[in-house]
């Protein structure tokens, strides 16, 4: 597997480890507690990431399957077009952009969530995404385009989706850190 694909894959494994380390010492009540009425809880952050990821995954898998059947094929390194690059940048934690989550990605109420299960689901999602990366070997990750589950007209390169997904996850892990700092541990 090419170094670019190995890097994509390692990013998903790194995010998985980071998420586990982030919440390992926090109890369920703290993870379900939002710091205020306008902010999600940590459990809701993971619920949001899980919803977004599991809705995207079938789109990625279909694109990969179609790519193996019909092409296009290509060799890394891949450089993405202007829309794909903008999309990836907009998802990064330091982008300065703020978004309201599309309704399809809104998390469940915090009291209905089980934080450990949300983390386990998130970790399983990272493994599936890393498997998808491995399955793209030989495909042209720039020319195979995938639509957003929330905004189907937004179509970006398959590889850009890997980059944007990791950036989105980092953005929300940063958010979860801030939430944990704001919510006092139970005494």
- CATH number of the domain enclosing 123: 1.20.120.450
Q: Does residue 187 lie within any of the structural domains?
A: no
Per-residue model confidence (pLDDT) at position 185: 74
97-155: per-residue pLDDT in tens? 888 888 999 999 999 999 999 999 999 999 999 999 999 999 999 999 999 999 889 99
Q: Does residue 86 lie within any of the structural domains?
A: yes
* pTM of structure: 0.94
Tokens 């202007």: give the residue.
82
45-71: per-residue pLDDT in tens? 999 999 999 999 999 999 999 999 999
How many domains are contained in the chain?
1
Beta-bridge partners for 155 = 147
154-174: per-residue pLDDT in tens? 999 999 999 999 999 999 999
Q: Which of 184, 31, 183, 20 is nearest to 107 (CA)?
A: 31
Q: Show the domain range for 171.
A: 3-182
CB 22 within 8 Å of CB 15: no
Q: Does residue 7 lie within any of the structural domains?
A: yes
Q: Does residue 120 lie within any of the structural domains?
A: yes
- Average pLDDT for residues 23-51, to the nearest whole number? 96
Tokens of 115: 């934080």
Q: Is 169 exposed, middle or buried (0-12, 13-18, 19+ CB in 10 A)?
A: buried
Give CA–CA dist 132/165, Å, rounded: 13
Q: Does residue 89 lie within any of the structural domains?
A: yes
Q: Does residue 81 lie within any of the structural domains?
A: yes
Per-residue model confidence (pLDDT) at position 186: 56
Name the helix (H) or strand (E) containing 90. Answer: helix 82-91
For 1-54, give the DSSP string. Answer: --HHHHHHHHHHHHHHHHHHHHHTT--HHHHH--SSTTS--HHHHHHHHHHHHH
Q: Is 28 exposed, middle or buried (0-12, 13-18, 19+ CB in 10 A)?
A: middle
């Amino acid at each position: 597997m090419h170094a670019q694909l190995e890097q994509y894959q390692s990013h998903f494994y790194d995010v998985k480890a980071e998420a586990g380390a982030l919440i390992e010492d926090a109890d369920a009540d703290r993870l379900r507690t939002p710091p205020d009425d306008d902010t999600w809880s940590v459990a809701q952050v993971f619920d949001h990431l899980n919803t977004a990821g599991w809705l995207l995954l079938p789109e990625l898998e279909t694109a990969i399957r179609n790519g193996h059947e019909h092409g296009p094929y290509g060799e890394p390194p891949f450089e993405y077009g202007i829309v794909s690059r903008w999309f990836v940048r907009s998802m990064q934690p330091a982008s300065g952009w703020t978004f309201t989550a599309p309704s399809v990605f809104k998390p469940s109420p915090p009291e209905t969530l089980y934080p450990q299960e949300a983390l386990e689901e998130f970790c399983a999602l990272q493994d599936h995404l890393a498997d998808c990366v491995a399955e793209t070997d030989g495909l042209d990750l720039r020319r195979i385009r995938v639509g957003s589950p929330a905004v189907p007209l937004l179509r970006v390169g398959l590889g850009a989706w890997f980059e944007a997904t990791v950036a989105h996850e980092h953005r929300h892990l940063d958010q979860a850190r801030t939430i944990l700092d704001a919510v006092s541990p139970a005494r």
